[in-house]
Amino acid sequence: MRRFLAVLTALSILLLGHAALTPSAWAKGLEVGGRGNLYYLNDSFSGTANIAFGYGAVGDRTYVGDWNGDSRDSLVLRRGNLYYFRNSLSSGNADRVVGYGRTNDVVLVGDWNGDGVDTLAVRRGNLYFFKDSLSSGPADRVVAYGRPNDVVLVGDWNGDGVDTLAVRRGNIYHFKDTLSGGAADRVLAYGRTADAVLVGDWNGDGRDTLAVRRANAYYLSDSLTSATANRVFTYGRAGDAVLVGDWNADGRDTLGVRRAPAPAPVPQPTPTPPPSTGYPVRPRTPDLDCPDFASRADAQTTFNHYVRLGLGDVHRLDGDNDGIACESHFG
Ligand SMILES: [Ca+2]
Ligand SMILES: [Ca+2]
Ligand SMILES: [Ca+2]
Ligand SMILES: [Ca+2]
């Protein structure tokens, strides 16, 4: 226990000094979040994406899963209660479109029956409606778990091939190994309350564990019994929406980011020429200064006009009394 606390403290110190992020829904099994239709995926924990493609529209909701059981994760786009499943990490049409649940449902993705295929579940408060096939129709099982406002995570915590739930309360995680109500099978304190957390099998041992995200730094842990970060690396930008999945079927989950296309360059306004007076002579009032005239000639015309009338330099345009108006301003 002493060692556990020491490690936890070390991790907290390690994480100190980074900007706190709001706990987010960025995790395997949950909605990806963010906006954009460009996906940059990485098969290793390096800084450079090796898969890049566009799919769907900028405002689509996105989830990750293995829809065909080939051990490769890919994307589904959600529009209302319609789901556009695609089995390859590339641009193109959906391989399957399914209507499920209601437009405002919270949706989770997981392999609820251990057949190697990820399917959907709908969450309404603390009720979870699990569906074992990518099809419409009634849920295969309904489970009450936790509290209606709990933050929930999805993962295979015990390596039996079945994804189950965990609830997060602050920095305390309650993991459940079966799709049922009741007490958690394991409880872990990890990171800090404000941390964004990800779920994935980072080391390919079949068990999902946690990672903490701070800006664009990721602290990956391979164990649900210790708060040690086994791997730390940086990826993408601080504001990126991040995806977790096994993109190449090597059994390890790695990261990707979702981005919107770069905005078109904003047209620069063309400089407008100084307004022409429109009159050969400017009025006596209000009092004008040299910058109010479009040119030295305009200023001179006005100056000459009032001098000829015997009123003198009414606008005080000829400060050195040489009969030339505004020569120092216009050069
Ligand atoms: Ca697949
Ligand atoms: Ca399944
Ligand atoms: Ca499991
Ligand atoms: Ca693992």
Looking at per-residue pLDDT, the higher value among 159 and 5 belongs to 159
Same domain, 45 and 137: yes
Ligand 1 centre and the CA of 71: distance in Å? 5
Per-residue confidence (pLDDT) for residue 28, from 0 to 100:
75
Q: Which domain holds residue 308?
A: 290-330
Ligand 4 centre and the CA of 253: distance in Å? 9
- 298 within some domain: yes
Is the per-residue pLDDT at 14 higher than 60?
no
Is the per-residue pLDDT at 2 higher than 60?
no
Q: What are phi and psi for residue 34, nearest 5 degrees?
A: 75, -175
Residue where a domain terminates, one of 259, 277, 299? 259
Same domain, 218 and 310: no
Residue where a domain terminates, one of 259, 276, 301? 259
Same domain, 169 and 41: yes
pLDDT one-digit tens code per residue, 60-118: 999 999 999 999 999 999 999 999 999 999 999 999 999 999 999 999 999 999 999 99
What average pLDDT does the segment 203-212 reach?
A: 95
- 8 within some domain: yes
Q: What does the buried/exposed string (b/e) look like for 97-123 if buried means 16 or more CB atoms within 10 Å of the residue's CB?
A: ebebbeeebebbbbbbbeeebbbbbbb
Looking at per-residue pLDDT, the higher value among 157 and 27 belongs to 157
Q: Which CATH number characterizes residue 16's domain? A: 2.130.10
pLDDT one-digit tens code per residue, 247-284: 999 999 999 999 988 877 777 777 665 555 555 788 88
Per-residue confidence (pLDDT) for residue 207, from 0 to 100:
96
Distance separating alpha carbons of residues 180 and 194, to the nearest angstrom: 28
What percent of the chain clears pLDDT 70, i.e. is strictly above it?
A: 89
Ligand 3 centre and the CA of 161: distance in Å? 5
- 281 within some domain: no
pTM for the whole structure: 0.73
86 and 288 Cβ atoms separated by less than 8 Å: no
Which of 62, 14, 9 has the alpha carbon at shortest distance from 212?
A: 14
Distance separating alpha carbons of residues 112 and 23, to the nearest angstrom: 25
Ligand 1 centre and the CA of 298: distance in Å? 76
Per-residue confidence (pLDDT) for residue 3, from 0 to 100:
42
158 and 149 Cβ atoms separated by less than 8 Å: no
Same domain, 312 and 217: no
pLDDT one-digit tens code per residue, 50-61: 999 999 999 999
- 266 within some domain: no
Same domain, 199 and 294: no
Per-residue confidence (pLDDT) for residue 48, from 0 to 100:
87
Same domain, 219 and 301: no
Per-residue confidence (pLDDT) for residue 24, from 0 to 100:
40
Q: What does the buried/exposed string (b/e) look like for 131-155 if buried means 16 or more CB atoms within 10 Å of the residue's CB?
A: bbebeeeebeeebebbeeebbbbbb
Ligand 2 centre and the CA of 119: distance in Å? 6
- 265 within some domain: no
Q: Under DSSP, is residue 84 helix (H, G, I), strand (E, B) or coil?
A: strand
- 316 within some domain: yes
Ligand 3 centre and the CA of 55: distance in Å? 31
Same domain, 294 and 255: no
**Which ligand has the minimum distance to the alpha carbon of residue 157?**
3
What average pLDDT does the segment 5-16 reach?
A: 35
Same domain, 187 and 321: no
Number of domains within the chain:
2
Ligand 2 centre and the CA of 125: distance in Å? 23
Same domain, 234 and 91: yes
Is the per-residue pLDDT at 314 higher than 60?
yes
Same domain, 195 and 304: no
What average pLDDT does the segment 23-28 reach?
A: 49
- 46 pLDDT band, cuts 50/70/90, is confident
Ligand 2 centre and the CA of 66: distance in Å? 9
Same domain, 108 and 210: yes
Is the per-residue pLDDT at 231 higher than 70?
yes
- 76 within some domain: yes
Residue where a domain terminates, one of 218, 238, 259? 259
